[in-house]
């Protein structure tokens, strides 16, 4: 890894220059849609894989958009004469967005990547040179305190975040400011923290260049810059969650032992959430020999909070170590040094009795209930982003179910949610199917196996009859005691409601 000093950043206190630069970028269609139109899908997708050659081939002309792509995304020096027809060069050089190189060329001092907002907004994410594309893979600098641009984790967190209007939002470990930028669209006040002062500077640039309000930027690790009495309606964090020996890379390695950073982040969030507020994180967690991973995560949830934790992926320790060693480019260096690092990772896991590492989402909601709900599940299958509304609806259903005892549940009316289909699996010609599965085609896209009663119940739920009346009719059809059926079925109904297969019509 290079120990050279990262380049000087553009001035963050020149909003008028950022506004002029933004107008120029938009005027040249330097947007997510404009980029796709210019490069074509293959070259556009290659950028996300850190492959720049297709984009270089697609920008050999001299149009304003090609000039900007080569300048800000591909880090190519461009003749001054070409740039001055597109950008306010003097102002950009004076404020540090551009730097003179050679005799008659200028180069960008930061990466600027077009980023489409959820409502079609044209935003721009600023990051360190070489780090706007390809996530942690980057295309250049691998400095310890480097600030990355948009990666898969960033967009995942942005997609699952609940987007209701709030008074105050907090972005912990803001990086290049992606989550703060999203939050600024629906929060009156946004606070962002980061242990890396360079990240706070770049966040200010991202917000200014995207035309978003400035945020309250605070230097420090995660909650450390937040006062004990400060509370928020929304807390989000894509933290440095990688479980590694040491903390070589600030942007990804937490520096605490094992998964302690993620555990601490979740546990401390409860003290800073307002009633009904959400805290949403990406995290890694250890699968420890002799422990149930779900119990481990339940122990993280702070008192007074409902929780929904979804494990999206699990890797054994060798896969995990290889992934993050490659992320840092260690596999491209000295083979002996790579083997020594690999060995150190495996030693760390062995000492902690870690057999695998899970990755997923953690959502907390502050509740006044005496019986908080904690759901921990594994769902590695494709989902439909954005999921913010799906997350909010999950907790709405938790509230609804918590207010219903079994008698009230059976008196309630439900209907089958939209776009749920029933699949029957069995041998051809068999009288009865071996399995009946309900499958969603929206949101989490869940699939759940149900028995004959569950399938029959879901099939006739249209809101016209109470759950109890439907069970009575099913009991008569299958020749079962209706009282016994009423006793054993509420748990299955609750699960179908909680997972969104059934919706209350009351």
pLDDT band at residue 133 using 50, 70 and 90 as cut-offs = low
Tokens of 223: 């909650």
Report whether the peptide linkage leading into residue 386 is cis, meaning its omega lies within 30 degrees of zero.
yes
Are 242 and 254 spatial neighbours (Cβ–Cβ below 8 Å)?
Answer: yes
Rounded Cα distance between 504 and 463, Å, is: 8
Rounded Cα distance between 226 and 173, Å, is: 12
Give the model's pLDDT for residue 298.
Answer: 98
Rounded Cα distance between 88 and 91, Å, is: 6
Check whether 160 has a pLDDT greater than 70: yes
Closest CA to 171 of 201, 216, 135: 216
Are 191 and 232 spatial neighbours (Cβ–Cβ below 8 Å)?
Answer: yes
Q: What is the mean pLDDT of the chain?
A: 93
- Tokens 């569950």 sit at which residue? 454
pLDDT, tens digit, for every residue of 473-506?
999 999 999 999 999 999 999 999 999 999 999 8
Q: Which stretches within 273-387 are classed as H helix? A: 293-298, 317-327, 335-351
Using CA atoms in the order 270, 271, 272, 278, what is the torsion angle rounded to 10 degrees? Answer: 20
- Tokens 């179908």 sit at which residue? 496
Q: How many CB atoms lie within 10 A of CB 493?
A: 26
Residue 488, C-beta contacts closer than 8 angstroms, at least 6 positions apart:
none
Are 42 and 53 spatial neighbours (Cβ–Cβ below 8 Å)?
Answer: no
Check whether 147 has a pLDDT greater than 70: yes
Are 250 and 6 spatial neighbours (Cβ–Cβ below 8 Å)?
Answer: no
Closest CA to 269 of 233, 298, 304, 302: 302
Check whether 140 has a pLDDT greater than 80: no
Are 285 and 244 spatial neighbours (Cβ–Cβ below 8 Å)?
Answer: no
Residue 485, C-beta contacts closer than 8 angstroms, at least 6 positions apart:
453, 471, 472, 474, 475
pLDDT, tens digit, for every residue of 334-345?
999 999 999 999
What are the distances in angstroms from CA 89 to CA 72, 78, 79, 95, 323? 14, 12, 11, 10, 41
Give the model's pLDDT for residue 139.
Answer: 41
pLDDT, tens digit, for every residue of 176-195?
999 999 999 999 999 999 99
Give the model's pLDDT for residue 5.
Answer: 61
Check whether 132 has a pLDDT greater than 80: no
pLDDT, tens digit, for every residue of 218-240?
999 999 999 999 999 999 999 99
Instruction: Give pTM, 2 decimals.
Output: 0.94
Q: Report the DSSP pairing between strands 232-237 and 216-219.
A: unpaired
Instruction: Give phi and psi for 483, each to the nearest 5.
Output: -65, -45
pLDDT band at residue 130 using 50, 70 and 90 as cut-offs = confident
Give the model's pLDDT for residue 466.
Answer: 98
pLDDT band at residue 2 using 50, 70 and 90 as cut-offs = very low
């Amino acid at each position: 890894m290079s120990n050279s000093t990262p380049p000087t950043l553009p001035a963050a206190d020149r909003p008028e220059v950022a506004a002029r630069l933004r107008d120029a970028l938009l005027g040249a269609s330097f947007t997510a849609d404009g980029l796709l139109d210019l490069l074509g899908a293959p070259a556009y997708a290659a950028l996300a894989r850190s492959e720049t050659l297709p984009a270089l081939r697609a920008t050999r002309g001299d149009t304003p958009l090609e000039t900007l792509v080569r300048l800000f995304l591909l880090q190519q020096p461009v003749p001054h004469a070409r740039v001055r027809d597109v950008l306010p060069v003097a102002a950009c050089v004076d404020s540090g967005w551009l730097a003179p190189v050679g005799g008659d060329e200028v180069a960008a001092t930061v990466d600027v990547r077009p980023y489409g907002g959820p409502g079609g907004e044209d935003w721009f994410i600023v990051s360190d040179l070489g780090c706007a594309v390809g996530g942690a893979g980057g295309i250049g600098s691998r400095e310890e305190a480097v600030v990355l641009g948009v990666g898969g984790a960033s967009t995942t967190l942005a997609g699952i975040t609940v987007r209701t209007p709030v008074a105050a939002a907090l972005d912990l470990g803001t990086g290049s400011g992606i989550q703060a930028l999203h939050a600024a669209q629906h929060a009156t006040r946004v606070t962002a923290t980061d242990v890396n002062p360079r990240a706070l500077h770049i966040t200010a640039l991202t917000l200014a260049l995207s035309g978003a309000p400035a945020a309250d930027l605070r230097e420090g690790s995660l909650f450390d810059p937040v006062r004990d009495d400060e509370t928020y309606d929304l807390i989000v964090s894509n933290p440095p969650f990688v479980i590694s020996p040491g903390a070589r890379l600030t942007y990804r390695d937490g520096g605490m032992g094992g998964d302690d950073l993620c555990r601490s982040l979740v546990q401390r969030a409860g003290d800073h959430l307002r009633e009904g507020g959400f805290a949403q994180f990406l995290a890694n967690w250890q699968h420890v020999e002799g422990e149930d991973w779900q119990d481990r995560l339940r122990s993280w949830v702070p008192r007074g909070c409902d929780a929904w934790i979804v494990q999206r992926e699990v890797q054994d320790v060798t896969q995990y170590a290889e992934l993050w060693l490659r992320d840092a480019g260690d596999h491209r260096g000295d083979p002996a040094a790579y083997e020594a690092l690999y060995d150190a990772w495996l030693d760390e896991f062995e000492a902690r009795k870690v057999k695998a590492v899970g990755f997923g989402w953690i959502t907390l909601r502050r509740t006044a209930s005496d019986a908080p709900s904690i759901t921990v599940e594994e769902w590695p299958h494709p989902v439909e982003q954005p999921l913010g509304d799906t997350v909010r609806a999950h907790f709405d259903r938790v509230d609804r179910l918590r207010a219903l005892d079994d008698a009230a549940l059976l008196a309630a009316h439900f209907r089958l949610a939209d776009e749920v289909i029933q699949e029957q699996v069995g041998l051809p010609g068999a009288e009865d199917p071996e399995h009946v599965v309900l499958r969603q085609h929206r949101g989490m896209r869940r699939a759940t196996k149900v028995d004959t009663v569950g399938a029959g119940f879901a099939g006739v739920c249209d809101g016209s009859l109470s759950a109890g009346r439907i069970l009575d009719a099913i009991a008569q059809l299958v020749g079962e005691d209706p009282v016994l059926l009423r006793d054993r079925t509420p748990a299955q109904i609750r699960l179908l409601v909680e997972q969104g297969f059934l919706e209350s019509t009351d």
